Amino acid sequence: MAMQLNSAQPARTDAGSKVAPPGVRVEHLTLRYGENTIFDNLNLRTSGGRLTALLGVSGVGKTSLLKIIAGLIEPTAGCVIGTDGRPVADRIAYMGQQDLLLPWLSVFKNVTLGARLRRETVDRVRAERLLEQVGLAAHHKTLPAALSGGMRQRAAIARTLYERRPIVLMDEPFCALDAITRANIHELAAEMLGGRTVLLITHDPLEAARLGHHLLVLQGCPATAGSPIAVAGEPPRSPDDPNLQKSQGQLLRLLMESQ
């Protein structure tokens, strides 16, 4: 299942990103589950059109943060707003930690679900190219139950990339992929997402350093955001890029401290 990247058109020609996409501002955010406080007056800001990699120890609150931004969790207090002052919830594409494929829909129909939900006409060409790019061209009509874990995740990625949204939120989108497939998907994602505001949760410092303009670490309980690390150079950075090595090391140190 080799990946044809040549056919991927650069994202800036995408409808969704004609206007420079806004960043995301999280203000005075507080989230409590019972007496368990996840965030207490958290403030952070991601810059528009950039990919911010979000890291942090398991259970610190990454997914919760993403869901709040997506408008899926009502925070106890505080608000989320675009740097352009408009709400963001209706401008995002969201890829959750589970693939959430609908078991009764074929891979193709799952990928184009958004269009049908919004009563838009399905862009078959785009969808099929995406499936090809994630290496599922042959599994077009397959039901999710007949896919392997990684294939399911790739279908979910295709579904997310199919959405032309200025802001993209991804929760550990590549964790079920083997090193090689992952590397290819990285490049695909970098291309397709270039120019959009992306918030990407990952546990792989290398991945973060390869794809991120900024690296952000959530730490502590209640969680606070450390100062973002800016990575030099344009993603996707090649594995032997010195910046990569540098910021990865930096990141690991940060994570160590965050314990």
Q: Which positions lie near its own copies, rule CB under 8 A?
A: 1-2, 33, 55-59, 62-63, 97-98, 135, 146-151, 154, 171-172, 175-182, 203-205, 252, 255-256, 258-259
Q: Which among 2-10, 67-75, 119-127, 147-155 is the span making contact with Mg ion, rule CB under 5 A?
A: 147-155
Partner interacting with residue 146 (select from another protein, ligand ATP, Mg ion, none; CB below 5-8 Å by kind): ligand ATP
Comparison of 129 and 165: residue with beta carbon closer to another protein: 165
149 binds Mg ion (CB under 5 A): yes
Q: How far apart are CA 218 and CA 207, in angstroms?
A: 17
Nearest to 150 by CA among 134, 169, 138: 134
Coil, strand or helix at 155: helix
Long-range interactions of 42-47: CB distance < 8 A, separation 24+: 42/78, 42/222, 42/223, 42/224, 42/225, 43/225, 44/216, 44/225, 45/83, 46/197, 46/199, 46/214, 46/216, 47/23, 47/83, 47/197, 47/213, 47/214
Nearest residue to Mg ion by CB is: 63
**Which lies closer to another protein via its Cβ, residue 140 or residue 246?**
140
Give the interface with ligand ATP as residue ranges (CB under 6 A).
33, 36, 38, 56, 58-64, 97, 145-151
- If the CB atoms of residues 104 and 234 are measured against another protein, the closer one turns out to be 104
